[in-house]
C-alpha cells in the first residue's frame, strides 16, 4: 500500500496495490501494520460504517467533538464520490483549507481524515456505496457540522447546487468562521489521530 501526504500533510491518500487478471482482482483494503508504520503510532479503529446513495447526495460536512472525535478511513466500494476534508483546528496554518479527492471503485483510493477535520462527500454516480472505519464510536451529543456551501471554504463540489440532495440537518449547519465557542472547535498542536 502506498501512502501520499496531501497539501494538508495530516490528510493522507492511501493507494492499495491491486492484483488483477482475467478472473478479476484482489486487493488488501486495510493493513494496520503498514498504516501505523507510516504514521508512527497506533490507530484503533472500532466501528465500520456504510452508506448507499444516488447521484447528487451530499453528506457533510461532519465532525465529532472531543472526547469522541474521530479519525476516519474512507473508501468507495461501488460508484464514485468527491471526498472533502476541511481543517477545523484553530491556529493551524491550514485552518479553513480543504483537501478534495475523487474516490471510486475504479481507482480504489482511500482517504485518512484525522481528528480535527470536518468531513463530507458528494456522490458522483448512482448506486454508490461508501464505507469507512472510525476510531471512536458515534456520539450524538458530540456530533457537529459545518455548512457545505460556506463561501469562505471555497469548495467546488463538482455538481450544480440544483443537483444536490441534502438532509435537513445538513441544510442548517453553521459557517466555520461563525463558530466562536472555543469548546465547539479544535485547537491546533494537539495530536488528534489518537
Query: Terminus-to-terminus CA distance in the chain, angstroms?
Result: 21
Mean pLDDT of 106-134: 97
By residue count, the chain amounts to 194
**Tens of pLDDT, residues 91-110:** 899 999 999 999 999 999 99
Answer yes or no: 192 catalytic: no
pLDDT band at 182 (very low <50, low <70, confident <90, very high): low
pLDDT band at 90 (very low <50, low <70, confident <90, very high): confident
Q: In whole angstroms, what is the distance from residue 45 CA to residue 35 CA?
A: 12
Answer yes or no: 119 catalytic: no
Per-residue pLDDT at 186: 72
- Mean pLDDT rounded to a whole number for the chain: 93
**Tens of pLDDT, residues 131-148:** 999 999 999 999 999 999
Sign of CA dihedral 143, 154, 121, 191: negative
CB 112 within 8 Å of CB 12: yes
**Domains of the chain by range and CATH?**
2-186 (2.60.120.10)
DSSP 56: T
Long-range contacts of 20-26 (CB under 8 A, 24+ apart): none
Is 76's pLDDT higher than 60?
yes
Is 46's pLDDT higher than 60?
yes
Which of the residues 19, 62, 68, 193 is marked catalytic?
A: 62
pLDDT band at 194 (very low <50, low <70, confident <90, very high): very low
Per-residue pLDDT at 193: 47
Which of the residues 98, 132, 192, 193 is marked catalytic?
A: 132
Per-residue pLDDT at 189: 55
Cell numbers at residue 133, please? 472505519
Per-residue pLDDT at 179: 87
Amino acid at each position: 500500500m502506498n501512502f501520499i501526504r496531501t497539501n494538508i500533510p495530516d490528510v493522507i491518500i492511501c493507494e492499495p496495490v491491486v492484483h488483477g487478471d482475467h478472473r478479476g482482482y484482489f486487493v488488501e483494503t486495510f493493513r494496520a501494520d503498514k498504516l501505523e508504520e507510516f504514521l508512527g503510532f497506533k490507530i484503533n479503529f472500532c466501528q465500520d460504517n456504510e452508506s448507499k446513495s444516488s447521484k447528487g447526495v451530499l453528506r457533510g460536512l461532519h465532525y465529532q467533538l472531543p472526547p469522541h472525535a474521530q479519525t476516519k478511513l474512507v473508501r468507495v466500494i461501488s460508484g464514485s464520490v468527491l471526498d472533502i476534508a476541511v481543517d477545523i483546528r484553530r491556529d493551524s496554518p491550514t485552518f479553513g483549507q480543504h483537501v478534495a479527492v475523487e474516490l471510486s471503485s475504479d481507482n480504489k483510493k482511500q482517504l485518512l481524515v484525522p481528528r480535527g477535520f470536518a468531513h463530507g462527500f458528494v456522490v458522483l454516480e448512482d448506486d454508490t456505496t461508501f464505507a469507512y472505519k472510525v476510531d471512536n464510536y458515534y456520539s450524538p451529543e458530540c456530533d457537529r457540522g459545518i455548512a457545505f456551501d460556506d463561501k469562505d471554504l471555497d469548495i467546488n463540489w463538482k455538481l450544480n447546487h440544483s443537483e444536490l440532495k441534502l438532509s435537513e440537518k445538513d441544510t442548517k449547519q453553521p459557517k466555520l468562521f461563525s463558530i466562536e465557542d472555543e469548546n465547539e472547535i479544535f485547537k491546533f498542536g494537539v495530536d488528534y489521530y489518537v
